[in-house]
Amino acid sequence: MHVFVTGGTGHSGSYIIPELVAAGHEVTGLARSDTAATVLSALGAKVRRGDLQDFDGLKEAAADADGVIHVAHRQDLLPSGGIDAVAAAELPIMLAYGEALAGTGKPLVAAGSIGSPGNGGGNLGRPATEDDPALPVGDEHKGTLRARNVVETAVIGLAERGVRSSVVRIANIAHSTTDRAGFLPTLIALAKEKGFAGYPGDGTNQWNAVHARDAASLFRLALEKGPAGKYWHAVGDGAIPVREIAEAIGSRLGLPAVSVPLDELILPGHFGFLANVVTRNYPASNLITRRTLGWEPAQHGLLADLDNGHYFPSAHVPAI
């Protein structure tokens, strides 16, 4: 299969392309710079120069391919518009793909998020599942939730236009040996700065996680055989208490794990911009994904990956 991939030089994409190539697929990656083109070539992909604002170019690339995997996003919008603007900018991209792929039965697999669709997780009193749709877009669901819901609903809606479209909801924490700017590096940097690894309240709220290599294999399976109009959960660890994450970070850094009282989270300095999400509960299931696609996470779980030490290249590890 000839696959067009966007975001191939990012954290997820840099695992997706080798996964596809190893499975015998021909990959063309979108590159907006010489540096990105060099990286894509090293990963085994052909290069198509362009960017996410060239909708005609995206339509042409999608039409020329046997399938599309879209994991890119407009990072340039972050400074001026924040995450909301980044998510909103994806909608015309998905509509462009829809124009190119309508009636073809070709697959379009787009990246989503367990947290951002607003499917509730623990707020529903149970783990989020693949059958949970995005919440209705009303006044009570503002900002990033609203923009993300519209985008993912649009992707799923393309199934009615003859596109084998689906969304891979990537776990809130995607970890790997090349993770440099995700949730874990942020928590680790914060622990170093504060002198302790913090967790909110009693730390029993749960987060989900996946190894980036396992997520890549799920994107491939969704592309190859995923039915249309489905959500898939790239979740390896479904429910890790935040306190255990903090304790693992503290152990590797030789720092204590300390509870931050919930009423202090609003104060400057406690978790920084993470304060509005770190208390949330995001347990998630992968059962439908595993049963339908035969996907089985094979890499280290999050806590084991922290124990491997690659997140702490210069940390002093206390003697046991």
| Residue closest to 113 by CA, chosen among 84, 85, 97, 134 | 134
Domain membership flag for residue 316: no
CATH assignment at residue 161: 3.40.50.720
Containing 133, the helix (H) or strand (E) segment is none
| pLDDT at residue number 309 | 86
Same domain assignment for residues 197 and 223: no
| Other beta carbons within 10 Å of 300 | 18
Lowest mean pLDDT among 19-23, 48-52, 87-91, 241-245: 87-91
Domain membership flag for residue 320: no
Domain membership flag for residue 168: yes
Domain membership flag for residue 51: yes
Contacts for 255 with CB less than 8 Å, ≥ 6 apart = 191, 192, 195, 196, 197, 249
163 against 73, higher pLDDT:
163
Mean pLDDT, residues 142-154 taken together = 67
pLDDT interval class at 37 (50, 70, 90):
very high
| Other beta carbons within 10 Å of 171 | 28
Structure token pair of residue 260: 């931050």
Same domain assignment for residues 93 and 50: yes
| Residue closest to 18 by CA, chosen among 299, 289, 217 | 217
| φ and ψ of 73, to 5 deg | -155, 160
Domain membership flag for residue 247: yes
Same domain assignment for residues 179 and 168: no
User: CA-to-CA distance for 235 and 175, rounded, in angstroms?
Assistant: 11
C-beta separation of 103 from 62 below 8 A: no
| pLDDT at residue number 117 | 39
CATH assignment at residue 259: 3.90.25
Please give the residue range of the domain that contains residue 167.
2-172+211-235
Same domain assignment for residues 165 and 184: no
Same domain assignment for residues 136 and 194: no
Domain membership flag for residue 67: yes
Containing 194, the helix (H) or strand (E) segment is helix 183-194
Same domain assignment for residues 147 and 90: yes
Q: Note the pLDDT tens digit of each residue in 272-283.
A: 778 778 888 889
Same domain assignment for residues 167 and 191: no
Q: Note the pLDDT tens digit of each residue in 189-213.
A: 999 999 999 999 999 999 999 999 9
Domain membership flag for residue 249: yes
Domain membership flag for residue 313: no
- Given a cut of 80, whether residue 122 has pLDDT beyond it is no
| φ and ψ of 69, to 5 deg | -120, 120
Q: Note the pLDDT tens digit of each residue in 149-187.
A: 788 889 999 999 999 999 999 999 999 999 988 889 999
| Residue closest to 165 by CA, chosen among 213, 99, 117, 118 | 99
Q: What is the pTM of this model?
A: 0.91
Three-state secondary structure call for residue 292: helix
Q: Note the pLDDT tens digit of each residue in 212-255.
A: 999 999 999 999 999 999 999 999 999 999 999 999 999 999 99
Tally of domains within the chain: 2
C-beta separation of 44 from 22 below 8 A: no
C-beta separation of 251 from 175 below 8 A: no
